[in-house]
Structure 1
Amino acid sequence: MKVSGVWARARWADAWPCLPFLAVGLIGTEPAATYQPDAARPLDPAAYTLIVIAALALAGRRRPGTALAVNGAAVAAYLAAGYPYGPILLTVPAAVYGVGVAWPAGRAMAVVAADVGVLVVALFAKAVAEGEDSVTVLPQVAIAMAALVAGMVVRIRREAAAGMRTEQARRAASEERLRMAQDLHDTIGHGLAAIAMQAGVALHVLDRDVAEARRAMEAVRATSRESLDNLRAGLERLRGDEPARRGPAPPGPGLDGLGELADRVRAAGVELTVDVQPDLGLAGPVEAAAFRIVREALTNVLRHAGAATTLVLVRRDDADLLVEITDTGAGTGTAAEGGLGIRGMRAQAEQLGGTLEVGPLPAGGFSVRARIPVEARA
């Protein structure tokens, strides 16, 4: 029953545009004939049958070629028989328009030219039957061509709109993949860097401080589990159309996650100080961006700076949030400035209308300084 209901609605949607032409044809043909006393043949049941066929042909919008052919045959037969001019002629541009909308330009022009040719022949036959010396076909041809051009314009606009939607969808999908790739780089990269440093600490103290080595290996285990969870979550989002089904990704951890992050970095042997101004009152996207910038900067410290002293400052400056990470490492700048991590941090800041400045410090070490508007929204 449900399928038949859908089928009926689809057929009604196709059929209803022909009803105004049918009504006008049946009602308006006789009044039009009163002004044409010289018509070769008066109206009769056959004439009205052709009017009905010409109008109902417009219901076949899913097959515009067939609709044009049936309409053209009915109108041509009506004219060739010598019936008076009437509203039946209005169905011709409607059928032509349908072909222009549905078919490519070359094919539509060829079919419409053939249809118009048949109608021109029918007009000459009508003129001969009525004893006229000449017949004017230019208005009918011009109207049909105008309807064809209108249909072609609509088709071009629809194709352009569809192409734009496809391109927007492709671009959105590409941006989503890039975002997820950046998230994987940030989370997994940080985890692996922490694991490497923590394992190094464990090896370094293994012979003389078993308890310290044990704590370092427990940190390795905890970081490994977290990295695997992050990797699993990222891969699930990369499968098929899951991002579309699940909606936008959550902003991610905020500044309240800095404590756990700092513990992980300290366990890797980095002397780290974190100074976060209380009661910042930040929006979720701003907090998430600040956390990711700090995480990536600390990842670079773990990878390149060795056992450096590092300072993280997060504070308000009027309408902006300032995030600054400085370290005393010797190799942070040359190793990190051109990497994917710096590009990711800059993208996090700029996406919210902020800026990112990175560079070596005069006395040695490296600095990452981000400024993000507090009222920014993703």
Structure 2
Amino acid sequence: MSRRDRRLLRLLALDVPLGLAIAFLALGVAHAQFQTADSGPFPPAWHAGPGTPDQPPKFRTDAEPLPIAAYAAIWVVVAAVMVRRIRPRAAFVASVAAMTVFLLIGGFFGPVLLGPIVLTYTMASLYQPRAWAPWTAVALPMFLVGYLDRPYFGVYDLDLYLGLGVGAALFSVPAALGVIVRSRREAARHERDEELRRFAYEERLRIAREVHDVVGHSLSVINMQAGVALHVLHKRPDRIEPSLEAIRQTSKDALEELRGTLAVFRDPEGRSDRPREPLPGLDRLDDLVSGVASAGRTAEARTEGEPGPLPAAVDHAAYRIVQEALTNVVRHAGGAGAAVLVTYRPAEVVVEITDDGPARPGQVPAEGNGIAGMRERARAVGGSLTAGPRPGGGFAVRAELPRGER
């Protein structure tokens, strides 16, 4: 539904009944005032006298119909209320002008004043104070109508200032309520926008991690296999075919994973009928290890404890952590071998990846994007990760991830 349609719906659902209610009250009170009047079409309300228990006030039997101008003024106020969400400032000016005319022909402040009051609230709830506050100045003549026939327009009359104070109070309350409503609405909108921006950033970060892990690991294995093929090209031709086969399979798997990862951009709401591949988990651990071992590296995987089902996010995070750690071994540990140990505990699963590279005493390697990404993955599922050189040589990555949703 478009913004225009929503505005029309609010107009029909709330503003039209509100305007009709004000019309009903204003016309009813105006007729009651007129029927009990002594003289003139709109003298002060209930001016027929207080009456006595023996002789209550009598309604006039010779009363004339309300002037057309009175009807017109009331209906202009009603129409302004009905369109208050479409043109709030113009509606406010129109309602104040109609109210002034209503007072000039002898009316009084009654239910018809609800129109300008409601419109004051509407302006304050939709605009900044600087955009609506100056418009309230047009209401000043409305409060001076009753003093036009007094000397100096009632400047020396105390009741003039009392009336202005009451009028200011009548308009200040809806204005304050409107400012509060607008402030809360803007705060909620700002919070919603911040949430959307944060969600978009986290989603981009997740996609970047996925692409980094998939492409980084696959290219490292391909590079290693290509190096092996070049090394044995003339010495061991029989070793070339396995290396090329490993390169082909690794690149194929990487492309499939990459397509699945980037599919969210083509179909963000998952409306495609094409089934998506499940996220890789620890059930594919052997594939990671064999990919490293096929290039001549020593790699092994062991499992301790009682394996059991893991939450999909935890299972995928553990897989990516192992993948990234093995990629770092291939890139930075020379010809070192790697070992992966997965320990299943009652409340958590511990994944530890170590290599037997040379010791580097006194040298603390700087953490790159790989380790930072592994730590973010572990933290995202409620776990923790540590990484650093081992005292006896090599490097170790240890992740502790919860087995339940945390």
Report the TM-score range of the alignment, normalised by the length of the smaller protein: 0.7 to 0.9
After TM superposition, give the deviation of residue 173 of structure 1 in Å. Answer: 0.6
After TM superposition, give the deviation of residue 287 of structure 1 in Å. Answer: 0.9
3-state SS in 1 of match to 2:299? strand
What's 1:348 paired with?
A: 377
Whole-Å separation in 1 of the counterparts to 2:269 and 2:359:
42
After TM superposition, give the deviation of residue 109 of structure 1 in Å. Answer: 0.5
Find the structure with the greater CA-based Rg: 2
Contact 2:34/2:42 (8 A) holds in 1? no
Whole-Å separation in 2 of the counterparts to 1:275 and 1:177:
34
Whole-Å separation in 2 of the counterparts to 1:262 and 1:371:
20
Whole-Å separation in 2 of the counterparts to 1:106 and 1:85:
28
What's 2:399 paired with?
A: 370
5 Å-filtered alignment, 1:232-251, equals 232-238=259-265, 242-243=267-268
5 Å-filtered alignment, 1:42-53, equals 44-46=66-68, 47-53=70-76
Q: For residue 259 of structure 1, what is the amino acid of its counterpart?
A: D
After TM superposition, give the deviation of residue 243 of structure 1 in Å. Answer: 3.4
After TM superposition, give the deviation of residue 289 of structure 1 in Å. Answer: 1.1
What's 1:173 paired with?
A: 200
After superposition, the C-alpha distances for 1:41-78 in whole angstroms (9 at most, x for unaligned) are 35714323322221221111210012111111111101
Q: CA RMSD in A?
A: 3.1
- Alignment partner for residue 107 of structure 1, among 120, 131, 140? 131
- Alignment partner of 1:274 is 2:301: yes
TM-score, length basis structure 1: 0.87
**Aligned pairs, how many?**
368
TM-score, length basis structure 2: 0.81
5 Å-filtered alignment, 1:1-378, equals 9=9, 11-13=11-13, 14-31=15-32, 41=42, 44-46=66-68, 47-60=70-83, 61-113=85-137, 115-125=138-148, 134-135=159-160, 136-238=163-265, 242-243=267-268, 252-277=279-304, 279-330=307-358, 337-377=366-406
Change (3 A) 1:335 1:362: closer
Higher helix share: 1
After superposition, the C-alpha distances for 1:286-333 in whole angstroms (9 at most, x for unaligned) are 111111111111010111112222111111233111111111023899
Change (3 A) 1:245 1:161: farther
After superposition, the C-alpha distances for 1:172-209 in whole angstroms (9 at most, x for unaligned) are 11111111111111110001111111111111222222
Contact 1:327/1:365 (8 A) holds in 2? yes
3-state SS in 2 of match to 1:26? helix
Whole-Å separation in 1 of the counterparts to 2:38 and 2:401:
84
After superposition, the C-alpha distances for 1:220-252 in whole angstroms (9 at most, x for unaligned) are 12212222333444445456xx535669x9872
After TM superposition, give the deviation of residue 32 of structure 1 in Å. Answer: 5.2
Contact 1:182/1:344 (8 A) holds in 2? yes
After TM superposition, give the deviation of residue 160 of structure 1 in Å. Answer: 1.9
Q: For residue 80 of structure 2, what is the amino acid of its counterpart?
A: A
Q: For residue 73 of structure 1, what is the amino acid of its counterpart?
A: A
Whole-Å separation in 2 of the counterparts to 1:126 and 1:194:
98
Contact 1:29/1:87 (8 A) holds in 2? no
Change (3 A) 1:146 1:10: closer
Change (3 A) 1:265 1:39: farther
